[in-house]
Structure 1
Amino acid sequence: MHTTIPAARSAPRFPRLSPRARKTVVVAHVVSSVGWLGLTLGNLVLAVTGMNATDPARQHAAFLAMAILGETLLIPISLVAFASGLVLSLGTKWGLFRHWWVVAKFVLTLVAVVLTPLSSVPGLRELGSVVSAAPADQLIDAGEYTSGLLAAGCVSSSMYLACVILTAFKPGGRTRFRRG
């Protein structure tokens, strides 16, 4: 008597990216990720500039630039970085849950994507409103706004740097979900 063992069912797979598609997504991912880091570092510089300004015009310009850049670019650029990273992990040999470094990058980026519209963007909008309502010849006390934005910028920059290190060194080996 011959018995056949049913084939193990595997989870549906994301189709592999063609070399051209992979390169296109890599470009989108690198540009958006570098842009996100640059935007965050730029906002940190503007926050410190505004906090230390003795000239009201300089302070207002720094804080308004932060608000304009942050409100306009932070959410779209974070979503492009997240989505392109997700497509790369699913559409290449790395997979989303096959390697610890990919899992760590996914979690770090997901946290940053969720926190950006919840903390940074509202803080930037508020700061922009306060500066816009202030007399042009008067320094504003932006301590309550800038301290939170500085903290968010430092945490975000550290997370993005961690993602760069994870990508470069690929530590941690494989997870138990090694298939494919």
Structure 2
Amino acid sequence: MGRKSLVWLHVVSSTGWMVMALVLFVVVDHSLSTPGGRAVFEVATLLDVQVLQFMATTSAFSGLMLSGLTPWGYFRHWWVLAKFAITFSQLYVGIFVLSPNLHQDGSPLLMRVGSLLMASALACQVWLSVAKPFKRTPWAAPRKPATAPPWGFAACLAVPALDYALGQNLLGTPLPAVSALVAAGYPIVRAVRRPGRVPSRT
């Protein structure tokens, strides 16, 4: 049940990320087409900072932890690596390129194209998750890593909520500090952990 709950969180947050990217496109397009659209840009910024970024970091965190806590692993399958590459590219572009341009003097082309590309990239990730194309990578060990115990998945469910609560209380905006620490620290724990039994299924 713990694994399914984390999958649920990943699906919900990824869907929310894609929906908010489309909403951002509609809001930005409307504000650029409407005289005096400063108030609309304020709405776009609010949605970006308070909702989209939280959905994005939660999606990335839950995806990383699903890879680490299950036999899928981080480097065993090309489709997983492809999702990692797309996710981190989206996070970089969204945080450092698109978000700073969400104002009246920002690049209209960048705002429109950036939000649409973000939604399209998420749709591509959905296809990768469903189709699971390509073969295993050359780094895939013959023996599958064991699936983590249910409490490991359950603990991951609390991390985004903790991030949201801490960020809102300290900075007034969600801050993925705990998610970053857990996502970066768990691979180290996984690497030194004693290999478990081979699970019967992935």
Q: Does 1:43 align with 2:21?
A: no
Cα distance in 2, alignment partners of residues 164 and 61 from structure 1: 33
Partner of 1:152: 114
Query: Percent identity, aligned pairs only?
Result: 30
Partner of 1:15: none
TM-score by length of 2: 0.65
Q: Does 1:173 align with 2:135?
A: yes
Which AA in structure 2 matches 1:151? V
- The structural deviation recorded for 1:152 is 1.3
Partner of 1:29: 10
Which AA in structure 1 matches 2:101? G
Q: Over residues 13-54 of structure 1, what are the superposed CA-to-partner deviations in whole Å (9 max), with x where a residue is unaligned? A: xxxxxxx22112111111110111011000001111122225
TM-score by length of 1: 0.72
Q: Is the 8 A contact 2:28 2:44 kept in 1?
A: yes
Q: Does 1:115 align with 2:112?
A: no
SS at the partner of 1:66?
helix
Unaligned runs of 5+ in 2: 145-202
Unaligned runs of 5+ in 1: 1-19, 128-141
Partner of 1:137: none
Map 1:1-80 → 2, pairs under 5 A:
20-53=1-34, 56=36, 59-80=37-58
Q: Is the 8 A contact 2:31 2:40 kept in 1?
A: yes
Q: Does 1:103 align with 2:81?
A: yes
Q: Does 1:89 align with 2:73?
A: no
Equivalences, count:
142
SS at the partner of 2:107?
helix
- The structural deviation recorded for 1:143 is 6.4
Which AA in structure 2 matches 1:120? L
Cα distance in 2, alignment partners of residues 48 and 36 from structure 1: 18
Cα distance in 2, alignment partners of residues 44 and 68 from structure 1: 14
Greater Rg by CA: 1
Which AA in structure 2 matches 1:79? T
Q: Is the 8 A contact 2:19 2:119 kept in 1?
A: no
Cα distance in 2, alignment partners of residues 21 and 116 from structure 1: 30
